[in-house]
């Protein structure tokens, strides 16, 4: 309850406070500011003062003295002061309550509150002085109004970003531009908030700007008959009207496009576009020049003279129809330089003053003007020459009875005609001469004459042929048989036929002369002086003459020797009653015969001798005698044999039981003669040592003392000169123990469980066991199974082991603890969601006794670090600052002395993001195409996506397709990712540039593809492109960027693919690919057909026919395209028939040589094939007598035309 002061006391306090007010305020001031709406209540925080006042500006509100408060009458109805802390409460604030409120203390403290009471803003609106304006002419005034509000400031907003302060809510914008269209809004604000008005748009008329003129297609000169489109555009609002002028004269055309169809040279001139804006009353103009020219329509190459002959002149003429600016001559796809040949002033003629072989090729003349170019068809110049470098291939030496083939070749165009002469007689009129079976009379000189019927030149060459007789038989003979070692022996090589040399082979290697091997009679005879066993083997002799050689059949030389190195094998001692084998061997060829002697008596005539059962009377010397019936030689060897009695009844004789630590003996007993005894343990020799001693010549073994390691199988072996005998095994058992007692079993068990305790001790024989617990016997077996356990059964369990042979015992112990088990373990999370950057706690709740708790994440132990802290003996894990990597499967394991239990997995989900979005999509796109963008952002849960372009939302999915594209769709596309759980947004942008499109791509060729000739393909592209590459059969074609390299099979030059040269391997489907920054375009498939051949020519039909019958010969060739065929008969210069087949009636006049000429009309290559035809029963090779042959050939030439027509 507020206590009041008397008026007198109040006055005295006021005077006192006023006198010290300045000093008190200067000591320490607590300053704060508040902005509140009209009609609200406010409480101003006070301070503990014993004597002070509340003052508004300079006016007194209340006096405070010793917890007594006096409020002035003007404030009493709506203020109150808390006597505890002197807080001042004012109700029903109005604008006039704005100002400074002070709580002043006479001692040292003052409180200052600056209060501003304001009217909230409502209904903001914006007005423009005018909306329809003209650029750079008009001025607009903006005014912003509010229906209520105090202390209001104003700003003008242009679009969404640019703020301009307004003076008293007004802003003047002079000389507006097209960028000032808005939208405009105003923002009114005071200390309580702000409010925006609705938008105002200005309609600003401007332009027209300087018009842009385009001529499509873009060319410097246009071909007559073309279609040309001129377009005119100018930036203008409203759109400008268009008028067209041609060479200063108005055309009746008012659209933005002017189409010129089927143009001629009369349409060349200056086209002007005039644009006019009906609102701004302004106009502008632009112009462009168009040049039109007629194309070239025909180009032909003609030869003004006869055929091209080596070293003679030749002139080619290029005839062109249409206007020509330039003419070029090309040979084999290579431009001919003006200096290499003689050309006329306008390049219309190409003259070769002296034709060279290098001038052979395909010639093209190309005519050019500004709008077109045209190439002539290929004109083949074939340089005729030869025959040159005539040569013959064939042998110089042949044997009688053989046939020989001699071939004649010559360099010549066209191919030469051939004649063969032997001893001045014509033997063949073909390039190849095949002889009959040779005799020595056919040795001599053969001459080939080559003739070119175009150049009228001829040349000849000869070859010498020698015919000789062959070797027909070679045999090896000998002077005597048999051959005996160390005697002389001789082999002779008998030959039928001419011989120049004889060579000997022994054992498939060359036989060379030495001091024991001597050759006689020019190697015909070989003598061995004397023959040795090493000379035995296979022999050959080879006879050689000038024509060839022949080798004899194999002769096997067998050398007889021996016997020698006689040896006897068998034992020198044997026991009585046994039989032994004696074996005798000797080195001998042939094999020797054998006899055995004992006491000068024959006991066997075999190489091996087996004795009867032996007795002591059969001891003595045994002799083997060896005899060779061919060499008539003998040899012998002997062996001395002794017969001995056997050993019997060998056994190990033991003592009583063996005890570890006491001495023990084993003795070996045997019947019969014994020379020595040795001992075995476990099938291995027993060695003496510090404890093991052998006595009585090894008959007794003593263990001093016995050890458990001595246990095993013991045997003794008794031996003499002829045998040994081994006793049966004796098993030695050494009694010991018990050793240390080993007690096994669990040290911890849970209540209610029965456990097994096991007791063991090393002992022979086995020990007896007794279990004690709490001083009582609980079992008399090695295993003790407890009853169901209780905590009172925890304690020490004692096992005692006893050996009744050694009379020893040992004791072992085991301590057992009985505990309660763990029954339930689970992970408890916080109630709130887990957020990246916040703290989070997981708790492990366990039912049952616990010694330790361990945490795992994703089945791996969880380690503490600067962000993860374990608390409450690991019961709780706290993430001080959660990261997204903390997400995973968590489990906790509770452990006590008995066992452990692991909780079910708890999946911790960390909400985060979105991170900065990743945008996948093109940076460039062609006009008319679609651009597909995909937006993704790392976020949990997955983000929601929206797309923005020019501050407008265009999609609410992660994938956005923009298109069909236009130029005004270039710009930044922004993807916004929003996470509903974290409440966060993130954005990223991609810049798309829309480019002009490629509208057409096509492969053209302007030359004919011919095998092994240069060839080019052109990729014609309509539209801008950055690069071109080529494909064959769907795969990238490996090409060279330079056509200079001689190794490049394919090279590119601008938009052309060159084949240098093209071959049949280049057959296939080709495509060219043009790419720009926006897209990749592929042409349709183009398949060039490679022209080739003829590669081979064959004539089918009979070789002979009966007179009066009709015969057909057919000519075929491998070629593309099909060849033209001409038939020649018997070396005629002119052909007698065209076409692939010739048919004639058989007469004496139709026999002879038929030649087919196959010509490819595209490659202009010719190939010849001949076939001889004879009357039935006559040979096909024509033979002309030396006299009268020319007359016969002339008659055939004269009549051939009539025969085949």
Nearest Cα to Cα of residue 391 among 323, 438, 460: 460
* E strand or H helix that includes residue 344: none
pLDDT on residue 1189: 30
CB atoms within 10 A of CB 565: 11
pLDDT on residue 108: 58
Percent over 90 (pLDDT), the chain:
45
Find out whether 745 and 756 touch, Cβ atoms under 8 Å: yes
Q: What is the DSSP letter of 903?
A: P
User: 744-819, what's its fold?
Assistant: Immunoglobulin-like (2.60.40)
Contacts of 748 (CB under 8 A, 6+ apart): 816, 817, 818, 819, 897, 898
Confidence at 1194, pLDDT banded by 50, 70, 90: very low
Average pLDDT over residues 788-814: 89
Q: What's the half-sphere exposure (Cβ side, CA atoms, 13 Å) at 659?
A: 10
Which stretches of 30-128 are DSSP H helices?
Answer: 73-76
pLDDT on residue 1197: 33
Over residues 88-129, the pLDDT tens digits come to 899 888 888 889 988 887 665 568 888 888 888 988 999 999
- What is the Cα–Cα distance from 122 to 145, expressed in whole angstroms? 10
Average pLDDT over residues 826-842: 92
Over residues 170-229, the pLDDT tens digits come to 999 898 998 888 899 999 998 888 888 988 999 999 999 999 999 998 888 898 988 999
Contacts of 896 (CB under 8 A, 6+ apart): 819, 821, 822, 848, 849, 850, 851
Over residues 513-545, the pLDDT tens digits come to 899 899 998 889 999 999 898 889 999 999 998
Over residues 929-988, the pLDDT tens digits come to 999 999 999 999 999 999 999 889 999 999 999 989 998 899 999 999 999 999 899 999
Average pLDDT over residues 666-693: 90
The yes or no reply on domain 648-735 and CATH 2.60.40.10 is yes
817 compared with 432, residue with greater pLDDT: 432
The yes or no reply on domain 561-644 and CATH 2.60.40.10 is yes
* E strand or H helix that includes residue 702: strand 700-703
pLDDT on residue 1047: 67
Residue 600, pLDDT above cutoff 70: yes
**Token duo for residue 550:** 């022949």
- What is the Cα–Cα distance from 1029 to 998, expressed in whole angstroms? 15
- What is the Cα–Cα distance from 795 to 792, expressed in whole angstroms? 8
Residue 547, pLDDT above cutoff 90: no
Find out whether 803 and 763 touch, Cβ atoms under 8 Å: yes
Q: What is the DSSP letter of 1072?
A: E
Which CATH number is associated with domain 918-995?
A: 2.60.40.10
pLDDT on residue 1204: 45
Confidence at 1188, pLDDT banded by 50, 70, 90: very low
User: 212-293, what's its fold?
Assistant: Immunoglobulin-like (2.60.40)
The CA angle 1194-1200-1202, to the nearest 5 degrees, is 130
Class for the domain spanning 384-468: mainly beta
pLDDT on residue 233: 93
Q: What is the DSSP letter of 1161?
A: T
Residue 403, pLDDT above cutoff 60: yes
Residue 29, pLDDT above cutoff 70: no
Over residues 1133-1167, the pLDDT tens digits come to 788 899 999 999 999 888 889 999 999 999 999 99
**Token duo for residue 1005:** 């060729």
Which CATH number is associated with domain 298-381?
A: 2.60.40.10
pLDDT on residue 974: 95
Over residues 1026-1063, the pLDDT tens digits come to 889 899 998 988 888 777 766 667 888 888 899 888 89
pLDDT on residue 1183: 33
Give the largest Cα separation in the chain, rounded.
181
Nearest Cα to Cα of residue 1012 among 949, 946, 1090, 1080: 1090
The three-class DSSP label of residue 25 is helix
Residue 345, pLDDT above cutoff 80: no
Peptide bond preceding 857: is omega within 30 degrees of 0, i.e. cis?
no
Residue 780, pLDDT above cutoff 70: yes
- What is the Cα–Cα distance from 586 to 628, expressed in whole angstroms? 10
Average pLDDT over residues 447-468: 89
Q: What is the DSSP letter of 623?
A: E
Residue 340, pLDDT above cutoff 90: no
- What is the Cα–Cα distance from 979 to 977, expressed in whole angstroms? 7
Left if phi > 0, otherwise alpha if psi is -120 to 50, otherwise beta: which for 254? alpha
Class for the domain spanning 125-205: mainly beta
**Token duo for residue 97:** 């309550």
Over residues 1091-1135, the pLDDT tens digits come to 999 988 999 999 999 988 999 999 999 999 999 999 998 767 788
The yes or no reply on domain 1097-1203 and CATH 3.40.50.1100 is no
Q: What is the DSSP letter of 1086?
A: B
pLDDT on residue 455: 84
* E strand or H helix that includes residue 18: helix 7-25
pLDDT on residue 11: 45
Find out whether 303 and 382 touch, Cβ atoms under 8 Å: no
The CATH number fitting domain 824-890, selected from 1.10.645.10, 3.40.50.2300, 1.10.1040.50, 2.60.40.10: 2.60.40.10
Residue 23, pLDDT above cutoff 70: no
**Token duo for residue 399:** 């044997």
Contacts of 944 (CB under 8 A, 6+ apart): 956, 977, 978, 979, 980
Distances 167 to 118, 152, 184, 599 between C-alpha atoms, Å: 20, 11, 16, 160
The reply to whether 212-293 and 561-644 are identical in fold is yes
Contacts of 638 (CB under 8 A, 6+ apart): 568, 621, 622, 623, 624
Q: Report DSSP letters for 438-504, one per residue.
A: --GGG-EEEEEEEE-TTT--EEEEEEEEEEEPPP-EEEEEES-SSEETTS-EEEEEEEES--SEEEE
Find out whether 946 and 978 touch, Cβ atoms under 8 Å: yes
User: 1000-1082, what's its fold?
Assistant: Immunoglobulin-like (2.60.40)
Q: Report DSSP letters for 1011-1071, one per residue.
A: TTEEEEEEEEEES--SEEEEEETTEE---BS-S--TT-SEEEETTEEEEEEE-GGG-S-EE
Over residues 411-430, the pLDDT tens digits come to 998 999 999 999 988 889 89
Provide the whole-model pTM. Answer: 0.34
Residue 1202, pLDDT above cutoff 80: no
Domains of the chain by residue range: 7-118, 125-205, 212-293, 298-381, 384-468, 473-557, 561-644, 648-735, 744-819, 824-890, 918-995, 1000-1082, 1097-1203
Beta strand residue intervals within 804-930, DSSP E: 808-819, 824-829, 834-835, 840-847, 852-857, 860-861, 868-871, 876-879, 888-895, 900-902, 906-908, 910-911, 918-920, 924-926
User: 7-118, what's its fold?
Assistant: Immunoglobulin-like (2.60.40)
User: 473-557, what's its fold?
Assistant: Immunoglobulin-like (2.60.40)
The three-class DSSP label of residue 13 is helix
Find out whether 726 and 680 touch, Cβ atoms under 8 Å: yes
Confidence at 38, pLDDT banded by 50, 70, 90: confident
Peptide bond preceding 738: is omega within 30 degrees of 0, i.e. cis?
yes
Q: What is the DSSP letter of 912?
A: B
pLDDT on residue 1045: 65
Q: What is the DSSP letter of 86?
A: -
Percent over 70 (pLDDT), the chain:
94
Average pLDDT, the chain: 87
Distances 971 to 928, 966, 1079 between C-alpha atoms, Å: 16, 11, 18
Left if phi > 0, otherwise alpha if psi is -120 to 50, otherwise beta: which for 1095? alpha
């Amino acid at each position: 309850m507020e206590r009041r002061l008397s008026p007198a006391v109040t006055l005295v306090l006021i005077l006192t406070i006023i006198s010290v007010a300045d000093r008190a305020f200067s000591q320490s001031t607590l300053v704060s500011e508040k902005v509140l709406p009209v009609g609200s209540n406010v409480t101003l925080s006070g301070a503990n003062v014993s004597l002070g006042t509340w003052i508004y500006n300079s006016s007194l509100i209340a006096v405070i003295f010793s917890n007594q408060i006096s409020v002035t009458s003007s404030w009493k109805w709506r203020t109150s002061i808390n006597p505890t802390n002197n807080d001042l409460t004012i109700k029903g604030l109005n604008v006039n309550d704005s100002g400074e409120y002070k709580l002043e203390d006479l001692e040292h403290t003052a409180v200052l509150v600056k209060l501003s009471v304001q009217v909230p803003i409502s209904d903001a609106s914006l007005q423009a002085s005018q909306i329809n304006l003209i650029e750079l002419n008009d001025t607009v005034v903006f005014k912003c109004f509010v229906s209520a509000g105090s202390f209001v400031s104003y700003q003008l907003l242009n679009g969404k970003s640019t703020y301009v302060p307004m003076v008293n809510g007004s802003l003047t914008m002079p000389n507006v531009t097209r960028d000032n269209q808005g939208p405009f809004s105003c923002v009114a604000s005071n200390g309580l908030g702000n409010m925006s008005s609705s938008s105002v748009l200005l309609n600003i008329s401007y332009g027209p700007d300087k018009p842009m003129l385009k001529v499509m297609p873009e060319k410097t000169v246009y071909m007559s008959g073309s279609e040309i489109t001129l377009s005119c555009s100018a930036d203008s609002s409203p759109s400008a009207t268009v008028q067209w002028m041609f060479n200063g004269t108005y055309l009746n055309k008012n659209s933005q496009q002017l189409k010129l169809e089927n143009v001629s040279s009369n349409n060349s001139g200056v086209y002007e576009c005039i644009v006019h804006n009906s609102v701004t009353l302004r106009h502008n103009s632009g112009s462009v020049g168009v040049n039109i020219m007629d194309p070239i329509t025909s180009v032909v190459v003609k030869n003004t003279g006869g055929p091209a002959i080596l070293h003679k002149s030749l002139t080619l003429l290029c005839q062109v129809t249409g206007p020509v600016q330039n003419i070029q001559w090309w040979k084999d796809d290579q431009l001919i330089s003006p200096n290499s040949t003689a050309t006329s002033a306008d390049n219309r003629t190409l003259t070769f003053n002296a034709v060279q072989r290098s001038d052979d090729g395909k010639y093209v003349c190309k005519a050019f003007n500004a709008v077109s170019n045209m190439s002539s068809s290929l004109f083949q110049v074939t340089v005729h020459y030869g025959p040159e470098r005539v040569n013959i291939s064939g042998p110089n030496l042949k044997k009688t009875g053989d046939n020989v083939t001699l071939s004649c070749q010559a360099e010549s165009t066209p191919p030469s005609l051939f004649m063969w002469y032997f001893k001045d007689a014509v033997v063949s009129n073909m390039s190849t001469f095949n002889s009959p079976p040779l005799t020595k009379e056919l040795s001599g000189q053969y001459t080939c004459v080559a003739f070119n019927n175009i150049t009228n030149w001829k040349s000849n060459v000869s070859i010498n042929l020698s015919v000789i007789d062959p070797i027909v038989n070679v045999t090896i003979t000998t002077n005597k048989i048999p051959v005996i070692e160390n005697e002389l022996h001789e082999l002779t090589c008998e030959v039928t036929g001419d011989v120049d040399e004889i060579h000997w082979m022994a054992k498939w290697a060359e036989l060379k002369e030495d001091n024991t091997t001597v050759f006689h009679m020019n190697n015909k005879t070989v003598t061995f002086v004397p023959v040795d066993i090493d000379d035995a083997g296979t022999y050959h002799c080879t006879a050689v003459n000038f024509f060839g050689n022949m080798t004899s059949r194999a002769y096997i030389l067998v050398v007889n020797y021996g016997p020698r190195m006689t040896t006897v094998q068998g034992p020198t001692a044997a026991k009585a009653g046994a039989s032994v084998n004696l074996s005798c061997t000797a080195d001998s060829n042939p094999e020797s015969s054998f006899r055995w002697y004992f006491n000068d008596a024959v006991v066997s005539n075999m190489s091996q001798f087996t004795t009867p059962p032996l007795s002591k009377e059969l001891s003595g010397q045994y002799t083997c005698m060896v005899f060779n019936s061919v060499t008539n030689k003998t040899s012998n060897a002997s062996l001395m044999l002794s017969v001995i009695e056997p050993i019997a009844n060998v056994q190990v004789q033991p003592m009583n039981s063996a005890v570890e630590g006491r001495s023990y003996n084993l003795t070996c007993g045997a019947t019969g003669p014994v020379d020595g005894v040795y001992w075995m343990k476990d099938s291995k020799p027993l060695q003496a040592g510090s404890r093991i001693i052998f006595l009585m010549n090894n008959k007794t073994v003593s263990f001093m003392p016995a050890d458990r390691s001595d246990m095993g199988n013991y045997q003794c072996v008794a031996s003499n000169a002829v045998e040994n005998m081994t006793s049966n095994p004796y098993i030695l058992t050494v009694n010991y123990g018990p050793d240390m007692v080993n007690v096994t079993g669990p040290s911890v068990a849970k209540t209610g469980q029965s456990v097994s305790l096991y007791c063991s001790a090393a002992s022979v024989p086995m020990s007896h066991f007794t279990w004690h617990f709490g001083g009582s016997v609980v079992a008399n077996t090695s295993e003790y199974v407890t009853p169901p356990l209780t905590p009172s059964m925890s304690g020490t369990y004692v096992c005692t082991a006893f050996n009744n042979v050694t009379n020893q015992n040992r004791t072992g112990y085991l301590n057992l603890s009985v505990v309660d088990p763990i029954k339930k373990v689970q992970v408890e999370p916080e109630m709130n969601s887990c957020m990246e950057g916040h703290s989070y706690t997981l708790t492990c709740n366990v039912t049952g006794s616990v010694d330790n708790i361990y945490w795992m994440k994703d089945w791996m132990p969880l380690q503490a670090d600067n962000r993860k802290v374990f608390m409450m003996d690991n019961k709780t894990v706290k993430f001080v600052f959660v990261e997204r990597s903390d997400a995973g499967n968590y489990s906790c394991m509770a452990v006590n002395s008995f066992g452990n239990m692991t909780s079910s997995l708890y999946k911790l989900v960390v909400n985060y993001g979105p991170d900065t979005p990743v945008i996948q999509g093109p940076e460039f796109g062609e006009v008319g195409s679609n651009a597909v963008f995909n937006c993704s952002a790392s976020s949990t849960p997955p983000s929601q996506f929206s797309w923005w372009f020019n501050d407008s939302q265009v999609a609410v999915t992660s994938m956005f397709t923009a298109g069909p594209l236009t130029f005004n769709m270039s710009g930044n596309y922004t993807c916004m990712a929003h996470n509903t759980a974290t409440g966060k947004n993130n954005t990223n942008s991609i810049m798309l540039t829309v480019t002009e499109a490629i509208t057409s791509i096509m492969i053209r060729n302007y030359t004919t593809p011919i095998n092994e000739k240069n060839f080019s393909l052109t990729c014609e592209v309509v539209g801008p492109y950055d690069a071109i590459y080529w494909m064959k059969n769907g795969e990238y074609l490996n090409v060279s960027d330079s056509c200079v390299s001689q190794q490049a099979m394919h090279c590119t030059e601008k938009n052309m693919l060159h084949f240098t040269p093209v071959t049949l391997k280049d057959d296939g489907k080709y495509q060219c690919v043009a790419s720009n920054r926006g897209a990749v375009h592929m042409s349709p498939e183009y398949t060039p057909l490679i022209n080739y051949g003829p590669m081979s020519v064959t004539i089918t039909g009979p070789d002979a026919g009966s007179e009066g019958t009709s015969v057909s010969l057919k000519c075929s060739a491998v070629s593309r395209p099909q060849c033209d065929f001409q038939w020649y008969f018997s070396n005629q210069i002119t052909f007698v028939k065209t076409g692939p087949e010739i048919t004639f009636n058989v007469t004496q006049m139709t026999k002879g040589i038929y030649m087919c000429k196959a010509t490819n009309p595209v490659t202009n290559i010719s190939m010849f094939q001949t076939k001889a035809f004879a009357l039935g029963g006559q040979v096909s090779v024509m033979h002309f007598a030396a006299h009268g042959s020319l007359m016969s050939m002339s008659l055939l030439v004269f009549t051939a035309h009539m025969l085949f027509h």
